[in-house]
Copies of this chain bind each other. A is one copy, B any other.
Amino acid sequence: MASMIFTDCSSSTTKARLLPFSRILLLRRRAAGVTLVRRLATLPNSSSRRPLTLRSSHSQSAYVTGIFSLATEKSATAEVIDGKAVAKQIRDEISAEVMRMKDAIGEVPGLAVIIVGNRKDSATYVRNKRKACESVGINSFEVPLPEDSTEEEVIKFIKEFNDDPSVHGILVQLPLPSHMNEENILNAVSIEKDVDGFHPLNIGHLAMRGREPMFVPCTPKGCIELLHRYGIDIKGKRAVVIGRSNIVGTPASQLLQREDATVTIVHSRTSNPEEITRQADIIISAVGKPNMVRGSWIKPGAVVIDVGINPVEDAKSPRGYRLVGDVCYDEAKNIASAITPVPGGVGPMTIAMLLSNTLISAKRAYNFQ
């Protein structure tokens, strides 16, 4: 996560910022609950791709306009891509599949998480994963290890989980203490149980035509899933991925290309990022810089998937900060045709995709269709 800084879209100091953040969220949640979830409930299950064709259905988006007319006192044009509602639907689908598996073969998927040390944020992430597992019926196994554990001790636990047939996914919560070699530890995870999808062999298969990865990394998989579920065409489109990290940017660009987009990766050495990004029909931003992507970077009608979750100072928030994306939302929402909010966009999708990967792994292990 980027260090906390104060920043905002300087040209867009709208009334939205004066409205307490929790109220906007509340409204959004309510609207999503009423309108979007009802629409999502009519979908077939997640295995069918592009179940919805919402992109051009702006006339149906009264709930979006509704929220933002309250918030900004002018109507917004972008469809809000509600990651929270989609993630909930996916979790419901996974839950049903886990139950079907249990009924048929008496087994459920299992996810093991190893956490080293006492970082508060890591503890929160691990707790959220455990809760998410419980909510869909996936068994979760947790190994908390002291900060001064050795690399060998961590690898010993990984190997036990590698050999344990009731475990189908193994996660090592990052970051690890600085005395450990992250690459050595991650490489110890069996490729069949690497539900994070970070193994180089997975990335290689993802990059290659005619090959299939065992697992697709969760966050980029979540981005593509949002595009699918909102019926947004990828084939033949120009796509720009901002950021080239191993865990989001690179695999996101590979996934877009597998679906026949024409992809450009914009990064810190790109000399004219604004000009290139403005050519994109689909933008996925994953750089961790608050409000970096301004309205002027976005082609009218483009779809914006904002992976950034950046804390910025906010004296009005009880916590003293609030979370914003890489994209200047207030500017973008008037230009894009669809956009993910932060929070509530890509964020909730990551854990949903982790559960999805764990289910896929268990189905493969038990040869259960």
Report yes or no: B267 in contact with A264, Cβ–Cβ below 8 A.
Answer: no
A209 interfacial contact with B, CB 8 Å = yes
Report yes or no: A267 in contact with B260, Cβ–Cβ below 8 A.
Answer: yes
Task: Return chain B residues, CB-CB under 8 Å to A254.
Answer: 207
Bound form: Cα–Cα A201–B254 in Å: 15
Q: Determine which residue in A208, A209, A246, A265 has the highest number of CB atoms from chain B within 10 A of its CB, and name it.
A: A208
Report yes or no: B200 in contact with A246, Cβ–Cβ below 8 A.
Answer: no
Stretch of A42-50, A154-162, A268-276 with 4 or more beta carbons under 8 angstroms from chain B: A268-276
Number of interface residues of A (CB under 8 A): 32
In the complex, what's the smallest C-beta–C-beta distance from A225 to chain B, in angstroms? 21
Bound form: Cα–Cα A204–B270 in Å: 23
A210 interfacial contact with B, CB 8 Å = yes
Q: A208-B200, A250-B208 are in contact. Are A264 and B266 (CB under 8 A)?
A: no
In the complex, what's the smallest C-beta–C-beta distance from A246 to chain B, in angstroms? 5
Report yes or no: B264 in contact with A269, Cβ–Cβ below 8 A.
Answer: no
Report yes or no: A257 in contact with B265, Cβ–Cβ below 8 A.
Answer: yes
In the complex, what's the smallest C-beta–C-beta distance from A123 to chain B, in angstroms? 27
A202 interfacial contact with B, CB 8 Å = yes
* Binary contact track A253-266/B, C-beta < 8 Å → 1, others 0: 01001001011111
27 pairs from A and B in contact (CB 8 Å cutoff): A199-B204, A200-B204, A200-B208, A200-B211, A201-B204, A202-B204, A203-B203, A203-B204, A203-B207, A204-B204, A204-B205, A204-B207, A207-B250, A207-B254, A208-B246, A208-B250, A209-B246, A210-B246, A235-B269, A236-B270, A238-B276, A257-B265, A262-B266, A262-B267, A262-B271, A262-B276, A263-B265
